[in-house]
Chains A and B, each alone.
Chain A
């Protein structure tokens, strides 16, 4: 690995920086909710930072339900065809 080129995300510090910048962006978007007047069609939307909360909660629920679903639907990779040899590329 030493002789290989170092890439930008190989350094954990850079990854941290990107994540922190992302946190700032998220905070900014919620803060903007209090300064910008949103026109709303629906009462639910009047809830402060409705979209932010909804997006976060929806995705967490999605992932946890999907993990639960794995318990029911997950089978071995060769469940349908026990004998097969996968190959990838296009024919030349």
Chain B
């Protein structure tokens, strides 16, 4: 009985908590929310101790697997619980039922998607994720946020529908709904690849990340940056390991966003671009597909969630306290927010992969795997991306928010719960960076990889310090592009400007033609039908004229006599 209890899917805890949060408030709700990821984590830990679990259910003729664990899904499960714990603590200061409940449902459904063993369960959880996370964007309440949330939701639903279509093809091809490795040569593989690709922010479909995340509430963006894209990375690792096209997709993802990140003014949008860059590294790792590369991709995903969460938290804290997030409006905040500054720098050091910080121990696994497999140019491009990450996320974010020119803003430090959440994340960044072996033990493949050797530490320090030197030099010489209030065009231009404009222009062009056709039709109608009607039925026309009674009697008499004559002869 007790054994059975412990095999309850851990994500159920989140849904129960969401229901409870709906009817409670104040400290009681805070307590429930903080306890949720802890209890869920305990369940998961208990599940992880035993053999792999598979709970099955029946739907019509098909077997569903709503809860299935293995090493890969367990790692993401632990990760999502830790990250949800941080994000929940970060959101405790707000009194918004909407955000609390949708945050819990979002986290729960992300866990559900990770443990789903079949496509129908996966589809259901991904759709719940899409809807619940959209509320975190709409909760900001601005017109921009509402429009952006709607675009976000539409794109997520398109991805969900592609997945469903792919799943139907998969059933047709294999006869089972169970998740399995897929090939891009089958229709199902291609459809599911596109579906996951949208969620992983592949190039050309990446703009929902940079559109929606900066528009969400300060706490909402912390939740958002954790789950959706990382679920996609998990699904790629599950369904398409070693798919070569991923290497090229990944390297484009790693490289192009850094240019945008350098010129972007909204610091949360800078983080969104740098997120695509980081996912690019993971996608390359999955594309390489060797044990080392997959381990590297998964470890990077683990670390990335925490340091990116930390960076989004620090920027969320800045936005919450000052009401501003543009680099052009900030600066000098280290004076009023020293603790947030330190946490932000720890996050920045981690994403830049400084030795002793978490990014260092995972990114190198991917780089080593790439060079082992002989992809020289890919390696060089990734090295460029690694230098670029430090440049925009490692230096630009802390520099423009907390240093640079003094904006004159004097505020208070961020609320306590935010500081606690950031401290937990920072502790993970340093902890994993200094002692990576617990993380290595959780990876899907056994590894004896050692991150800390002289060569690696030295080369990485050279790369980073000289990137920083470039920043210093460019800044002192006045070459560094200033932060300007602006919008930078990206692929989203097609659906945010070009398509609405062309529809509007089309309408404007077609309107005279349309009017002409309508007018012609009206004239024809008037001439053919109305005129006839008027002639026959209008006033004083043959059928509406008043006739004298005498003529009627005459006609009756004529008719009767015709009738009599006919009758006589028949």
Contact = CB atoms under 8 A, between A and B. Distances in A.
B537 to A, nearest CB: 53
A87 B479 CA distance: 32
Nearest to A38: B455
B96 A90 contact: yes
Interface stretch (B47-55, B80-88, B258-266): B258-266
A44 B262 CA distance: 27
Nearest to A41: B371
Interface residues of B, number: 70
A39 B453 CA distance: 10
Contacts of A81: 143-144, 147
Contact of B143 (A23, A29, A54, A84): A84
Interface in A25-64: 25-26, 29-30, 32-33, 36, 38-42, 44-45, 49-56, 58-60, 62-64
Contact of B487 (A29, A40, A65, A76): A76
Interface string B369-412: 00110001001100110011001000000000001001000000
B458 A55 contact: no
A29 B458 contact: yes
A88 B219 contact: no
B437 interface: no
Q: How large is the interface on A (under 10, 10 to 19, 20 to 34, 35 or more residues)?
A: 35 or more
B141 A55 contact: no
Contacts of A45: 459
A63 B470 contact: yes
B483 to A, nearest CB: 12
Given A41-B372, A42-B376, A55-B387, A75 B462 contact: no
B412 to A, nearest CB: 13
Interface string A54-92: 111011101111110110111111111101111111111
A70 B334 contact: no
A91 B480 contact: no
B488 A74 contact: yes
B490 interface: yes
A77 B483 CA distance: 12
A5 B371 CA distance: 52
B459 A38 contact: yes
A88 B481 contact: no
Nearest to B465: A26
10 contacts: A22-B465, A58-B383, A62-B384, A67-B263, A70-B488, A75-B486, A75-B488, A79-B487, A81-B144, A88-B319
A63 B141 contact: no
A33 B490 CA distance: 41
A52 B324 CA distance: 36
B487 A51 contact: no
A59 B95 contact: no
Contact of A22 (B320, B472, B487): B472
Contacts of B258: 62
B125 to A, nearest CB: 27
Contacts, number: 185
Given A38-B458, A62-B262, 9 more contacts: A58-B387, A60-B470, A63-B470, A66-B259, A67-B263, A72-B489, A73-B263, A87-B142, A89-B218
B474 interface: yes
B322 A66 contact: no
B325 interface: yes
A49 B319 CA distance: 41
Given A52-B466, A55-B465, A86 B144 contact: yes
A80 B487 contact: yes
Contacts of A74: 263, 484, 486-489
10 A-B pairs with least C-beta separation = A88-B323, A59-B470, A55-B466, A66-B262, A51-B462, A55-B463, A52-B462, A56-B466, A79-B487, A73-B489
Contacts of B339: none
A75 B387 contact: no
Contact of A36 (B94, B147, B458, B472): B458
B466 A53 contact: yes
B462 A29 contact: yes
A42 B371 contact: yes
Contacts of B454: 36, 38
Contact of B463 (A54, A69, A78, A80): A54
Contacts of B93: 90
A15 to B, nearest CB: 10
A45 B379 CA distance: 12
A70 B96 CA distance: 39
Most buried by A among B320, B463, B480: B463
A74 B489 CA distance: 6
A76 B458 contact: no
Interface string A14-26: 0000010011011
Contacts of A58: 383-384, 387-388, 467, 470
B468 interface: yes
B485 to A, nearest CB: 5
B219 A90 contact: yes
Contacts of A80: 487, 496-497
A67 B142 CA distance: 31
Contacts of B469: 22-23, 26, 55-56
A46 to B, nearest CB: 12
B262 A90 contact: no
A59 B263 CA distance: 13
Contacts of B143: 81, 83-85
Contacts of B323: 87-89
Contacts of B238: none
